[in-house]
Amino acid sequence: MTKPKSLPKTKSDFQHLAAELAAIGRDFYARGWLLGTSGNLSAVWQREPLRLAITASGLDKGHLLPGQILEVDAHQTVLRGKGKPSAEASLHLSVVRARAAGSVLHTHSVWSTVVSQKYPGEGDIEISGYEMLKGLEGIRSHDHTEHLPILENSQDMKDLSGRVTSLLDDHPAIHGFLIRGHGLYTWGATLAEAKRHVEILEFLAEVLGRSGAAVSRA
Amino acid sequence: MTKPKSLPKTKSDFQHLAAELAAIGRDFYARGWLLGTSGNLSAVWQREPLRLAITASGLDKGHLLPGQILEVDAHQTVLRGKGKPSAEASLHLSVVRARAAGSVLHTHSVWSTVVSQKYPGEGDIEISGYEMLKGLEGIRSHDHTEHLPILENSQDMKDLSGRVTSLLDDHPAIHGFLIRGHGLYTWGATLAEAKRHVEILEFLAEVLGRSGAAVSRA
Amino acid sequence: MTKPKSLPKTKSDFQHLAAELAAIGRDFYARGWLLGTSGNLSAVWQREPLRLAITASGLDKGHLLPGQILEVDAHQTVLRGKGKPSAEASLHLSVVRARAAGSVLHTHSVWSTVVSQKYPGEGDIEISGYEMLKGLEGIRSHDHTEHLPILENSQDMKDLSGRVTSLLDDHPAIHGFLIRGHGLYTWGATLAEAKRHVEILEFLAEVLGRSGAAVSRA
Amino acid sequence: MTKPKSLPKTKSDFQHLAAELAAIGRDFYARGWLLGTSGNLSAVWQREPLRLAITASGLDKGHLLPGQILEVDAHQTVLRGKGKPSAEASLHLSVVRARAAGSVLHTHSVWSTVVSQKYPGEGDIEISGYEMLKGLEGIRSHDHTEHLPILENSQDMKDLSGRVTSLLDDHPAIHGFLIRGHGLYTWGATLAEAKRHVEILEFLAEVLGRSGAAVSRA
């Protein structure tokens, strides 16, 4: 991963970070990746002690405003803003810890949902031969096999975030994962890198889906 | 359903509600869900006696303006605005009565039309295992089976609204239904909730359609 | 067809009509129906003697401006504006004469192209059972069979416009036709009606294509 | 090819050309053809000695600004602007030399990626019978067979640009080519012509993909 830039520290910097998250939310909504208040977006605002800027729960991402971005600590306590953080904030925190990520983005697109059902249970989608893979941090050639694991979904966030932590430990090279019937998680050292990873993995999910390579028709 | 907020009462509040309906109409048109003047949108403006804000018939939703939203009573008499209400206003009224809904939205998307033809006759599409289901009011887990009934279409609005009332009585848990070859009806306690339900059910129809699960190829 | 409103007569009215055509062109381009300078749009500016407002040939519809709309007479002579009219202006004139249409719109969408290849030769696509059919002028029920004829393509405009005239004579009830591998022609008494017909027939072509009903996989 | 207009020479003209490239980049990004910082766009700024305006490497095309367009010479040395040119600048230069092109545009769309995998190895996709083909420079009829060659991808730019040069020598009539798992290259005498060619070839790739004609399901 590229080395994270020093993180913003002032109040106006938080507003700036929140504005960037909100703009990405509106853009992804327009593309159909965050319909129906689905998905959540976060960026690390301070590393020590950990502070996360994260979307509040239940928001219409088509009208997402900077003021709707919360500041939470490592225990998901809200330090700034109104509303409660997404139930999935614990997954964001798991990814931030395991990858030292600067941003975690979670989308609910049609194609990532469709291809997340390729197998009856868990498994890895293997993606290889695409130039687009080079946009994933650290990948230098299309001649690479990217593993995109599929985790079973759960409403038990303790269970699910534990499995996410194990997955990231076991797969040090992955850039994202799918939750079955649910959507995509990806991350980056910076918000721009995480956004790029969303676009790339969503693109590849669509390519796999449209070419029939990752659609179960059983 | 979430408890409806107290409903707006002043003239400027009606304009506000009409502006929200018009914005949703333009947004859904851009997404391709209300092409060719199709679809209609309503919100309850007053509960006792019942007053509905509803799109006039035959409008291009791409240019929908607040002034094109009518106020009608329970007998579909126009109390405010020019034009006549949609022939389907009676279906909106049936839903409002049966569900105490604050808003009813009816879209004509490609995917809801495609999946509405899954069966030769009437039947329920069963949707389960999707995280997106949690966005439907009252649903707490992806591990839920949502029934999306398909009604046969009719031009006899008395017949059709009667069948809608029966359907809603018989299926107290549903959040929407399809009319065969026609489109989606959904509702919510508030306009925001109804909009969220449209996005979720249209998303799920597209997922089912693209994964081949709800397309009849007979 | 609804009775055409009296047609505009002053110079500023021509600008108004040209602005409406240009706005529809930019909108349809954004939707992907007029890519690569394809398609052409016209509206009757004067009935006796016939004057047509029509897009000049070879324009990028994504940047279509009112000043790029030509005025031509029944012989395709340019009376106003720079550039030459589309080679297909003769088809527009054939439709205007045969249907007393106030506007003719021709789009090149992916789905109308895909379904235009349903048969190896000419033939009619039959479309029935869709509520959206009611948006076609004069249709009152989904229980209607709309014929959407497919004509073989030709670069001989005299031949092709002759076949269009014959087709319209032989099929008095149709609202549009496809040219094989080429796209959709439809029309209306007014520009708004023609725009509505484009949206409806493109919607139905997409529904047929996506449900597999009109895609030849031979 | 249409004769290129005399090329711009002043500093403000460079800004104008850069602004046009940036606008096309943002437009193609919105259409999903340049996601994840993929793709690159160039236009000849001066013919003798050769100067190319080209996108810098690694940019988010959704926010592409004129100031992010570099001026490079025939050896890819940056003469103006910050950042480094794309590794694929050598392919742009190969096309400019072989075709005396005024602009080279390279997109990464889902459909051009899907159809680029039609064959296990290299091969030509043959496209015929489409009216849209007439938008390719010099083509006068739908009754034309356009060859769209597929090259194997490589990270060795010397190897790949050599193969591009050979391909263009061997296929004097082609208007573009695909790189397998990678995307589309096309060009034109002017930027407008190159943009038109992108739209036409992307349209045709989508038509072939959706009609099943160029999707390998092996």
Q: Which tens digit of pLDDT belongs to each residue from C142-158?
A: 999 999 999 999 999 99
Q: Is D50 in contact with D117 (CB distance < 8 Å)? A: no
Instruction: Give pLDDT tens digits for C112-124.
Output: 999 999 877 778 9
Q: Which residues of D74-109 are buried (b: 16+ CB within 10 A; e: fewer)?
A: eebebeebeeebbebbbbbbbbbebbebbbbbbbbb
- The C-alpha atoms of residue D202 and residue D190 are separated, in whole angstroms, by 18
Task: Label residue B1 by pLDDT band (50, 70, 90).
Answer: very low
Task: Output the pLDDT for position B5.
Answer: 52
Instruction: Spell out which residues of chain C touch residue B179, defining contact as CB-CB under 8 Å.
Output: 131
Q: What is the mean pLDDT of residues D19-36?
A: 98
DSSP annotation string for D1-35: -PPPPPPP-SHHHHHHHHHHHHHHHHHHHHTTSSG
- The C-alpha atoms of residue C120 and residue C109 are separated, in whole angstroms, by 20
Flag whether pLDDT at A201 surpasses 50.
yes
Average pLDDT over all residues of chain A: 93
| Minimum mean pLDDT range among A121-125, C147-151, D136-140 | A121-125
ipTM over 0.90: yes
Task: Output the pLDDT for position B87.
Answer: 85
- Asked whether at least 3 C-beta pairs link B and D within 8 Å, the reply is no
Q: Using CB atoms, which residue from D132, D142, D207 is nearest to C36?
A: D132
Q: What is the mean pLDDT of residues A103-111?
A: 98
Task: Output the pLDDT for position A34.
Answer: 98
- The C-alpha atoms of residue A21 and residue A31 are separated, in whole angstroms, by 15
Contact assignment for B130 to A36 by CB distance below 8 Å:
no
**Could you tell me what percentage of chain B is helix, strand and coil, using 3-state DSSP and rounding each to the nearest 5?**
40, 25, 40
Instruction: Spell out which residues of chain D touch residue C60, defining contact as CB-CB under 8 Å.
Output: 192, 195-196
Instruction: Give pLDDT tens digits for D158-198.
Output: 999 999 999 999 999 999 999 999 999 999 999 999 999 99
Element housing B40 (H / E)? strand B40-46
Q: Residue B124's CB: how many other CB atoms inside 10 A?
A: 17
- The C-alpha atoms of residue A36 and residue B31 are separated, in whole angstroms, by 14
Helix, coil or strand: residue A112: helix
Chains touching A, CB cut-off 8 Å, 3+ pairs: B, D
Q: What percent of chain C has pLDDT over 90?
A: 87
Task: Label residue A218 by pLDDT band (50, 70, 90).
Answer: very low
- Asked whether at least 3 C-beta pairs link A and C within 8 Å, the reply is no
Instruction: Spell out which residues of chain C touch residue B117, defining contact as CB-CB under 8 Å.
Output: 211
- The Cα of A195 is separated from the nearest Cα of chain D by a number of Å equal to 8
What's the burial of D169, exposed, middle or buried (CB within 10 Å: 0-12/13-18/19+)? exposed
Q: Which residues of D119-142 are buried (b: 16+ CB within 10 A; e: fewer)?
A: eeeeebbebeebbbbbbbeebeeb
Task: Output the pLDDT for position B101.
Answer: 97
Q: Based on C-alpha coordinates, what's the Rg of chain D?
A: 16
Contact assignment for A129 to D180 by CB distance below 8 Å:
yes
Q: Using CB atoms, which residue from A132, A142, A212 is nearest to D36?
A: A132
Q: Residue D31's CB: how many other CB atoms inside 10 A?
A: 17
Q: What percent of chain D has pLDDT over 70?
A: 93
- The Cα of B191 is separated from the nearest Cα of chain A by a number of Å equal to 12
Q: Residue A82's CB: how many other CB atoms inside 10 A?
A: 9
Contact assignment for C181 to D212 by CB distance below 8 Å:
no
- The C-alpha atoms of residue B70 and residue B78 are separated, in whole angstroms, by 7
Whole-prediction pTM:
0.94
- The Cα of D104 is separated from the nearest Cα of chain A by a number of Å equal to 19
Flag whether pLDDT at B107 surpasses 80.
yes
Scanning A109-168 for CB atoms below 8 A from D yields 129-132, 135, 140-143
Q: Is C91 in contact with C165 (CB distance < 8 Å)? A: no
Task: Output the pLDDT for position B218.
Answer: 38
| Minimum mean pLDDT range among A212-216, B22-26, D99-103 | A212-216
Q: What is the mean pLDDT of residues B96-123?
A: 93
CA closest to B196 among chain A residues: A36
Q: What is the mean pLDDT of residues B120-148?
A: 94
Asked if A27 has any chain B CB less than 8 Å from its own CB, the reply is no
Q: What is the mean pLDDT of residues D42-61?
A: 96
- The Cα of D9 is separated from the nearest Cα of chain A by a number of Å equal to 35
- Indicate the pairing of strand A145-151 with strand B51-55: unpaired
Q: Using CB atoms, which residue from B140, B143, B196 is nearest to A37?
A: B196
Q: What is the mean pLDDT of residues B55-61?
A: 96
Q: Residue C213's CB: how many other CB atoms inside 10 A?
A: 17
Scanning C174-203 for CB atoms below 8 A from D yields 179-183
Q: What is the mean pLDDT of residues A122-133?
A: 94
Residue with tokens 């032989």, as numbered in its chain: C170
Instruction: Give pLDDT tens digits for C151-208.
Output: 999 999 999 999 999 999 999 999 999 999 999 999 999 999 999 999 999 999 999 9
- The Cα of A206 is separated from the nearest Cα of chain D by a number of Å equal to 7
Q: What percent of chain A has pLDDT over 70?
A: 93
Instruction: Give pLDDT tens digits for B161-192.
Output: 999 999 999 999 999 999 999 999 999 999 99
Task: Output the pLDDT for position C212.
Answer: 78
Instruction: Spell out which residues of chain B touch residue A153, defining contact as CB-CB under 8 Å.
Output: 129, 131, 142
Task: Label residue B9 by pLDDT band (50, 70, 90).
Answer: low
CA closest to A193 among chain D residues: D36
How long, in residues, is chain A?
218
